[in-house]
Amino acid sequence: MASAPLFDNILELIRVTSTDLPPDVRKALLDGTAKERFGSRALLALDTIDTNIKMAADGSAPICQDTGMIKFFVHHPVGYDTLTFRKVAENAVAEATSKGYLRQNSVEALSGKNSGNNIGPGTPLFHFEAWEHPTVDVRCMLKGGGCENVGAQYSLPMEFPELGVKAGRDIAGCRTAVLHAVWKAQGQGCAPGFVGVCIGGDRASGLDAAKEQLLRVVGDTNSREDLSGFEQDIVDTANGLGIGPMGFGGETTLLGCKVTERNRLPASFFVSVSYACWAHRRRGVVLDGATDNIVRWLYTDAEEVLPGGHPS
C-alpha cells in the first residue's frame, strides 16, 4: 500500500507531539523557572511541570490528558494527493487514540456523544496549502480546551471599564486588547503560556492566523521591527502582572507572544488572540513529496529557523 509510510509517519508525529514537548518550549519554561523565588508556589508549579515533561517523554505517555483539538498544517507540492493524506491522517488519529496517545476528545456539540476515536465532523482539523517546494511540510498541533477557552477576539475601538481605558484602532489599542486577554485568562489557560495574535483580517481568518502564529519557534524574531518590539513589550508587561504559573502569583506569566498583521475591511478592526498553555504541543516533519518518507524532523532545536510558508 503506497500510503503505508505516511500512516506510520503521521502516527509517530502524533505520538511525539503528545508525549515529547519541543526543545524551544522546554527552554522557555527553564528560563522562567530561573526567575522564580526559592520556596515559592510558582517554583513548585514549574518544578512539577518539569518533572511531568520528563515522565511523559520517558514513558511515551501524554504530557497532558487533554490532548486537545488536533490540527494538521500541511504545505505540499502542487499535485500532491491531499485526499489520501486526509484519510490516512484520520486513520492514524484513530490508531493513536486506541494506543492512548490521544484522549477520546471529539464529541457531538449538542448531544455530547463521544465518537470514541477523535474522528467526526470538524475533527481533526486540516489546513492544506500548496507551495513551490518538492517536499511536504506537516505540522501537528494539539491544543487543549482550557487554553482554547481563554482565547479572545476584540473588535476595536472598545472600552475596557474595568481597566479604565479605551482601546483605539492603533498599536496602543492592540496592546491593551492583548494584555486584557492575558489578564483575563489568569491561571485558567494553564499559565505560563504563549499568545498568537493577529491584527486585522475578518473574524474567522483572524483567529486562524493567530493560532498559526503559535507554530513559530519561541526564540525567533519577527521580521518586522515594529511587531518584534510589540511582541517583546507584551511578554515583558505580562510578566510584570504577577499572575504567575497556574495563577499562583510569580514572575512567569507569559513565555512568548507572536504577532502577525492581515489586511482588513475599512469598517473592521479585529485583534484576535489565541492562547496556548505551557504544554504547547506542536511538532513537524518534512516528507519527501514522492515517497512520504521523513526527510527530517522540525522543532528539534530551540534556536531552529523554520522554513518558509508560515508567514511571520
Partner 1 sequence: MATVRLTTPLTEEAVRALKAGDDVLISGTMYTGRDAVHKYLAGGGAVPDGVDLNGAVIYHCGPVVIERGEGDDRSFTVKAAGPTTSIREEPYQAGLIGKYGLRGVIGKGGMGAKTLEACREHGAVYLHAIGGAAQVYAECIERVDDVYLEEFGSPEAIWVLHVRDFPAIVTMDSHGSSLHADVAAASLSALKGAF
Residues of this chain that bind partner 1 (CB under 8 A): 41, 44-45, 48-49, 51-52, 55-56, 59, 61-67, 100, 102-105, 107, 112-114, 116, 144-146, 149, 162-165, 176, 179-180, 183, 186-190, 237, 240-244, 246-249, 277-279
Query: Minimum distance between the CB of residue 81 and partner 1, rounded to whole angstroms?
Result: 32
Sign of the dihedral through C-alpha 297, 299, 302, 303 = positive
* Residue among 60 and 268 whose Cβ is closer to partner 1: 60
* Residue among 50 and 220 whose Cβ is closer to partner 1: 50
Query: Minimum distance between the CB of residue 3 and partner 1, rounded to whole angstroms?
Result: 26
Query: Minimum distance between the CB of residue 204 and partner 1, rounded to whole angstroms?
Result: 25
Cell of 221: 524574531
* Residue among 46 and 298 whose Cβ is closer to partner 1: 46
* Residue among 206 and 250 whose Cβ is closer to partner 1: 250
Query: Are 257 and 237 spatial neighbours (Cβ–Cβ below 8 Å)?
Result: no
Question: Helix, strand or coil for residue 272?
Answer: strand
Angstrom distance (rounded) from CA 241 to CA 95: 43
Query: Minimum distance between the CB of residue 144 and partner 1, rounded to whole angstroms?
Result: 8
Q: Cis before residue 157, ω within 30 degrees of 0?
A: yes
* Residue among 105 and 135 whose Cβ is closer to partner 1: 105
* Residue among 178 and 259 whose Cβ is closer to partner 1: 178
The dihedral formed by the CA atoms of 258, 42, 187 and 20, expressed in degrees to the nearest 10: 60
Amino acid making up residue 170: D
Give the count of beta carbons closer than 10 Å to the beta carbon of residue 82: 16
Query: Minimum distance between the CB of residue 68 and partner 1, rounded to whole angstroms?
Result: 11
Which residues are CB-neighbours of 1 under 8 A, at least 6 positions away? none
Query: Minimum distance between the CB of residue 237 and partner 1, rounded to whole angstroms?
Result: 5
Query: Minimum distance between the CB of residue 120 and partner 1, rounded to whole angstroms?
Result: 12
Query: Minimum distance between the CB of residue 244 and partner 1, rounded to whole angstroms?
Result: 7
Q: Which residue has the cell 481605558?
A: 165
* Residue among 210 and 234 whose Cβ is closer to partner 1: 234
Find the radius of gyration of the CA atoms of the chain. 19
Query: Minimum distance between the CB of residue 26 and partner 1, rounded to whole angstroms?
Result: 13
Cα-based angle 294, 223, 13 (whole degrees, multiple of 5): 20
Residue among 226, 286, 232, 289 nearest 258 (CA): 232
* Residue among 149 and 291 whose Cβ is closer to partner 1: 149
How far, CA to CA in Å, does 108 sit from each of 121, 125, 273?
A: 8, 15, 25
Q: Kindly state the greatest CA–CA separation across the chain.
A: 63
DSSP 8-state symbol, 114: B
User: Between 171-185 and 225-239, two packed helices, what is the crossing angle to 10 degrees?
Assistant: 30
* Residue among 220 and 233 whose Cβ is closer to partner 1: 233
